[in-house]
């Protein structure tokens, strides 16, 4: 991966952006994309870039990846200055204990830790019990409620204090790859198209959406506003090349083997075939999975926006989803960019995606 793209990926992932508080990451997205395509925003906080092509009446294509990450939110401050919190998105309460965090207050980020009773003081019968989220608390070092309230407010978002970490080879670990990896791919496709010098046959919109983790909200509103004929959502999916996952349930999917292209009710068959044919022509490795029902992604709401949209998914294999140590392969990101970019130049009339 080129150095500038890697710096963008790192900045995007490390920018705090729990659902409803995405603008630090969205500013990174907008600053990077603006030289390649004009970017507008909306009241939800979505960032929408456009590269016009194809002339009047061209097929309108929307790419979308969401910029929000899971996180925490301050709900209560007790008399001793401890912060009690709730989850933004799906968080396993087993992973939060003992974590370093940042509380994003009006004066800036406040460091803290999620404390717990020492194991020495826990009854043996309780040591195997998961500590519920509502009983956990953040210690920012405040001596009392007054001191704490000088630094944080009810409703402040909280992120895990971890950044991007290079592992062996081209593997990266970090928080928020779900789904800032998708926003990254959308931005890189816009860059590739802009710098290619080739005229697009479609009218292209690239969206970094918000609030996916709490109900696909930004994907819903941006799809309604853009009014695409064709939509490709860029997401992450469970890599099953770790010891404790069942391939019979989630498919045979591994890091570094290419992006995932699902089939199922959420996917337009003609668009799926076009993507797979493009992968074969361009010699881009892909992995196919089956999703029998609606997907829990922005593709779900995009498909049923207005009168319906021909929708597909391109997904990045990811280990340890919704933890602070998500792991992916850079080659999968790069191949997703190649695949989507090549596909865009082969999309014709929107009528081609109407089932016959």
Which tens digit of pLDDT belongs to each residue from 249-296? 889 999 999 999 999 999 999 999 999 999 999 999 999 999 999 999
Cα distance between residue 204 and residue 344, in whole Å? 9
Cα distance between residue 88 and residue 259, in whole Å? 27
Identify the CA nearest to 184 among candidates 279, 36, 67: 67
Pairing of strands 310-318, 230-238: parallel
> Which H, E and C letters describe the chain, residue by residue?
CCHHHHHHHHHHHHCCCECCCCHHHHHHHHHHHCCCCCEEECCCCCEEEEECCCCCCCCEEEEEEECCECEEEEEEECCCCCEEEEEECCCCHHHHCCCEEEEEECCEEEEEEEECCCHHHCCHHHCCCCCCHHHCEEECCCCCHHHHHCCCCCCCEEEECCCCEECCCCEEEECCHHHHHHHHHHHHHHHHHHHHCCCCCCEEEEEEECCCCCCCHHHHHHHHHHCCCEEEEEEEEECCCCCCCCHHHHCCCCCCCCCEEEEECCCCHHHHHHHHHHHHHHCCCCEEEEECCCCCCHHHHHHCCCCCCEEEEEEEEEECCCCCCEEEEHHHHHHHHHHHHHHHCCCCCHHHHCCC
| Model confidence band, residue 109 (pLDDT cutoffs 50, 70, 90) | very high
Cα–Cα distances in angstroms (integers) from residue 276 to residues 261, 282, 338, in the given order: 8, 10, 13
Q: Tell me which residues are annotated as active site.
A: 212
| Model confidence band, residue 133 (pLDDT cutoffs 50, 70, 90) | very high
118 or 283, which is more confident? 283
- Whether the per-residue pLDDT at 31 is higher than 90: the answer is yes
CB 19 within 8 A of CB 89: yes
pLDDT cut 70: percent of the chain above it: 100
Position 356 scores a pLDDT of 86
Position 127 scores a pLDDT of 83
349 or 126, which is more confident? 349
pLDDT digits 0-9 by tens, 207-223? 999 999 999 999 999 99
Cα distance between residue 303 and residue 69, in whole Å? 23
- Cis omega (within 30 of 0) for bond into 65: no
CB count in 10 Å sphere of residue 146: 11
Query: Strand order of the sheet with strand 171-174?
Result: 165-166, 171-174, 326-329
Give me the mean pLDDT over the 102-116 stretch. 95
- Whether the per-residue pLDDT at 124 is higher than 90: the answer is no
- Whether the per-residue pLDDT at 340 is higher than 90: the answer is yes
Mean of all residue pLDDT scores within the chain: 96
Identify the CA nearest to 23 among candidates 210, 217, 181: 210
- Whether the per-residue pLDDT at 125 is higher than 90: the answer is no
């Amino acid at each position: 991966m080129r150095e500038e793209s890697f710096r963008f990926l790192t900045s995007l992932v490390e920018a705090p952006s729990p659902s409803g508080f995405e603008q630090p990451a969205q500013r990174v997205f907008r600053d990077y994309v603006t030289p390649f395509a004009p970017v507008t925003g909306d009241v939800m906080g979505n960032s929408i870039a456009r590269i016009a092509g194809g002339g009047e009446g061209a097929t309108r294509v929307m790419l979308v990846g969401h910029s929000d990450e899971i996180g925490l939110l301050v709900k209560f401050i007790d008399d001793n200055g401890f912060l009690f919190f709730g989850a933004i998105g799906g968080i396993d309460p087993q992973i939060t204990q003992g974590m370093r965090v940042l509380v994003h207050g009006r004066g800036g980020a406040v460091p803290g830790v999620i404390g717990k009773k020492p194991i020495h003081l826990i009854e043996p019968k309780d040591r195997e019990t998961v500590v519920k989220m509502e009983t956990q608390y953040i210690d920012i070092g405040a001596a009392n409620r007054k001191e704490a309230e000088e630094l944080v407010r009810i409703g402040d978002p909280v992120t895990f204090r971890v950044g991007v970490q290079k592992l062996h080879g081209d593997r990266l670990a970090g928080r928020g790859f779900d789904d800032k990896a998708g926003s990254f791919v959308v931005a890189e496709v816009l860059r590739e198209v802009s710098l290619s010098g080739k005229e697009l046959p479609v009218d292209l919109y690239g969206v970094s959406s918000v609030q996916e983790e709490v109900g696909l909200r930004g994907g819903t509103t941006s799809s309604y506003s853009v009014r695409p004929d064709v939509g490709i959502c860029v997401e992450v999916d469970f890599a099953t090349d770790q010891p404790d996952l069942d391939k019979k349930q989630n498919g045979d999917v591994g890091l570094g083997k290419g992006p995932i292209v699902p089939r199922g009710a959420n996917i337009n068959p003609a668009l799926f075939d076009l993507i797979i044919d493009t992968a074969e022509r361009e010699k881009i490795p892909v992995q196919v999975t089956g999703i029998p029902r609606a997907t829990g992604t922005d593709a779900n709401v995009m498909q049923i926006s207005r009168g319906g949209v021909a929708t597909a998914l391109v997904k990045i294999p990811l280990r340890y989803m919704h933890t602070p140590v998500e792991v992916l392969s850079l080659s999968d990101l790069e191949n997703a960019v190649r695949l989507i970019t090549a596909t865009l130049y082969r999309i014709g009339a929107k009528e081609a995606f109407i089932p016959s």
